[in-house]
Structures are given as C-alpha cells and as structure tokens.
Amino acid sequence: MTSSYSKKITKIVETDFLVIGSGVAGLRAALELCHHGRVLMIAKGGPQENSTLFAQGGVAVALSEEDHVDLHFTDTIKAGHQLCRKPATKALVQEGPARIEELLAWGAKFDKVKGKLAFAHEGAHSRRRILRAGGDAIGSEMVRVLTAHARQQPTIQWIGNQFSIDLLVLDSQCCGAIVLDELTGELKLILASATVLSTGGAGQVYARTTNPGSATGDGIAMALRAGAALEDMEFVQFHPTALYLPSSPPFLLSEAIRGEGGRLRNNKREFFMKRYHKDKELASRDIVARAIWAEMQATKARHVYLDITHLSATFIKKRFPTIYATCLRFDIDITEEWIPVSPSAHYWMGGVYTDLHGATTLPGLFAAGEVACSGVHGANRLASNSLLEGLVFGLRSAQSAVTFASNSSTPHLTLRDLRKRSKPISKPLEDAEKLRNSLRRLMWTKVGLVRHGNILTKAVSQLSRWEKTLEQTSLTRTNMETQNLLQVGRSTTEAALWRENSVGAHFREDFPTHKGLTWKTHSRSHRPLNTDHFPLT
C-alpha cells in the first residue's frame, strides 16, 4: 500500500495493446491481440483476484443434439425482457459454439457422461445447455486453459499488483492508462495504440454480494471519468441463492442446484415458488430473487431455505464438490440439512457501452465482459451467458482494437511533458473503510431489489455529498476503489431513478406494473470531457 503524499509519474512504458483485467474476456482478447503486436496485460492484486475464478454454474452454449442457436437466442431475449440488443445476442449464440470448441482444442476439461459433453439445466433455459467442469468449478477451468495458452505466446506480458488509476486521453482518444504499482508505490504511464477494459463488475458497492473483494467497478468508473458512455446501469442482477450466515460473507450457491431439483422453502417449511411463477424454482433470476425477498418480508425472516436433501448424497458430493465442502466448513451438511439462503448482488447487466464489436464511445478504448454493456443481457441476464459473452466479445473487442490501431498512432510523451501538466494531490481520505461500509449499506437498503423514487432521490443526494469528500484525494488503491464505488453507485442510482417503470431486475414500488410508451429506451450516463484527460490534473 502506498503512502498518502503526492506522487509523480516516474516511468513511461510503451506497448502496442494494453489489456486491463485478467479474467476470461481479457485473456481471450490478449490471445487475439498477440498476433498483431506486443500485449501488456495488467491486473490489480494477484492472479486469484478476478471474478471468473468464482464462476460455478457453467457456460451456456447450444452444442447438444437437442439444442439450436435459435432456441438459445429466444431464451436469452425472453430472460432479458426484450431489452437485449438483437444483433449482439445473435453474435453471442452463433459464435459461442466455435469459442467453446476452441477451448476444447486448447485442452479444456469439461465434464462428460459416457464420453460425451454433459449438459446441465438452469433457470429460464428451454434446453439442457450448461457445460460444466469439476462439477461446479467452470470458472477456474476456463482461466486455467486460457492462461496456459497465453503463457505460450511470447508477445503477451502479464503483470500483477498494478492498479489502474485512470485512462489517459489525448486529442479525444484513449492512449493508455496511469497505473500504480501496489508493491513499490511507483506511478507510471502505459502508452498503447488501443486499450481493452476487462475489469469485471462492481458487486462490492452492495452490502451483500457474491463478488470477490476486488469487484469495485474500477473500469466502469475510469471509463466514465474519461468521457465514455455507460448504459443500463440500473439493471443489477441479484442472485437468488447466496449462503446466509451472519458470521460469514455470502457464498454463491449455483443456479445449477435448482436445475438439478433443488427446492425453496420459507421458514414455515412451505414450498412457495408455485405462488410466483409457473416455472417455480426454474423461473428467471429476477423473478426468483424477488419471490424470496417477498417471502422474507412476509415472514419477517432474514433468509429462506434451499432444500436438496431429497437428492442422493453421492450425487450431491460429485455434482457440487466445492459447494458441499464450503458449506461443510460452516457446519452445514447439504446432503442432510436445508441451506439458509438469501439474495445477493451478483452481476451488472449494464456497464461501459460498446457497439457490436466491443468499441466504446471513446476512440481507442474497447471493453468486454462484465465491465461492458454489449447489449446481450438486456434487463436480466440469462444464467451462464456471462462466460460465453467474455469469450465471444473478448475476441470481437480485440479484432476491433487491431483495426483501430492499424489506422492510428500513439502519441509520444516524455516525463517532462507530464510533469508540466500535473498537480500534486495530497489530501488524505479519512477512514475510507467507514465511508465504504456506509455506501454499501445505503445501496443495499435504498437501491436494492425493490426501489422507490422518493428513496432513490435521497440516495442520489447522499452519494453526491460523499463524492465531494473524495475530490483531490491521495492516490492509493483504497482511496481510488472507494471513489470508483461511489461513482458506480451514483450512476446506478441515477439510472434507477430515471427508469420510471419495472422491468427485469429493476423493480420500482411506485411503478410496479406501469411501463409507459418508451420503456424499451436504454439509460445513458455520459460525462464528456472538453480537454485532454490526465488523472493528476
């Protein structure tokens, strides 16, 4: 961690392509970019801090004999409540099979039954199309394969413990980023012909989240500050079933558990989902999450139960080894006991707006994965589509970046140029953790599963006041993460206040059924910059 006094850039690094983030989307982008120049991949913290590693359920793809890409397309559009961008969704489902076949060729070990790929069922899917690995460890397997292949490429360099402070914009074009070395405290500038954001989501803005501690919305906030547009920020998916224990952080209990027959009970022991949807436990995530929330409110409980005790203990241990072992550490034997669960913030459908090819509204900046709003998820993500999106649009964003770089040039800068334009930032942030905890509680209670205009208005005012306290703060990872969370929280709250209807993951108590004539309009957050953007000016 760095100290709170002002810093100056001491080093300039030049590369052809900069990839910020090291999950599935970033790795797939790098594997395409490496054929066209030098690729520098950077990520904050170590290699275990990306969200992909925590993915359990699987990756959705129309590869089975009973499936078809048209069915996958229809299911995705339906789950997204007709707010998906159809060209992007078509690209996702049509190119998905090729991306999975590619992984298999690179050595991916997906689960099989009798020598054939095993396909599982999850909510809102009309077919069994979920590929898994190690039962419930799909994320780590995909990262393993992509990382192993990336290590074989001599033009890819990966550096950890590099916190991206801000994007560099010159002549209205993204030319790289300002980066803080978390180990040495050195501040450096990375110049690149094209930059790909793949920094993941922002679940840490909420008090309850399935996301790792590193999910602080850094890419979304950096892009907003640099002048790129955000879209659909109000659509936050709350996973219905996260382990609820007062003494432990939420732990995701895969959608696949319900796909294999898991049932939900309230604290009166009743199966309740039949009262909310004909598909019961296999309804889409937004419906199941709000049903659980309604039961919790009605019975004044802090959780409901997920029951799989009717399934074979041998099957449970083999199918869900990670979940079984984790719950057992908390003295819950899921083969014999009901699991206490409640919803938790899980995934942003919105993010940095990109076109069909991963390009943002800021020339030179591209985005893929959860940080981006490619349009494939609409108002509610279909389960297990996120990893496929990372593969498909990781590649697409890289192809677009290559085309852009071939028609542009990277500016030449010296340390002297930068220091002429830089001002010291030395104001320390008092008790960043206290502010962060207050933010997370506010977002959970006022901008959660159920929202109301009056409450959202008050939340926006509070977030604005907190943001002002962070102006000109010192450049440390803690301070910058807090600033990023505040900016993501404010963008989300403003978008939720703007959308005066209920659709998908966004539910307004004051507009429970009303949609209005313009409900298919997408929200936009955009703070255009009139000058070159330096994070130290």
- CA-closest candidate to residue 181, choices 24, 9, 22, 15: 9
75 vs 81: CA distance, rounded Å: 10
| CB within 8 Å of 247: residues ≥ 6 apart | none
Is the Cβ–Cβ distance between 225 and 178 less than 8 Å?
no
> Residue 157: enclosing H or E segment and its boundaries?
strand 156-159
Name which of 317, 307, 312, 330 is nearest 136 in CA terms. Answer: 317
d(Cα 411, Cα 79) in Å, to the nearest integer? 44
The Cα–Cα gap between 451 and 443 comes to 10
Whose CA is closest to 301, among 267, 273, 344, 271?
267
Neighbours of 8 (CB within 10 A): 11
CA distance 59 to 63: 11
Give the chain's radius of gyration (CA, Å): 22
The residues that bridge with 265 in the sheet, in sequence order, are 271, 305
CA separation, residue 531 to residues 168, 173, 178, 492, 535 (Å): 11, 11, 17, 26, 12
**Catalytic residue of the set 99, 263, 285, 319:** 285
The Cα–Cα gap between 311 and 335 comes to 8
Pairing relationship of beta strands 173-181 and 187-191 according to DSSP bridges: antiparallel
Q: For residue 465, what are its two tokens?
A: 């006041």
Can you tell me whether residue 323 is helix, strand or coil? helix
- DSSP string for 360-427: -SSTTEEE-STTEE-SSSTTSPPTT-HHHHHHHHHHHHHHHHHHHHHT--PPP--HHHHHHH-----B
CA distances from 179 to 130, 144, 188 (A): 38, 26, 5
Is residue 285 annotated as a catalytic residue, yes or no?
A: yes
Rounded to an integer, what distance in angstroms lies between the CA atom of residue 63 and that of residue 104?
A: 13
Residues belonging to the active site? 285
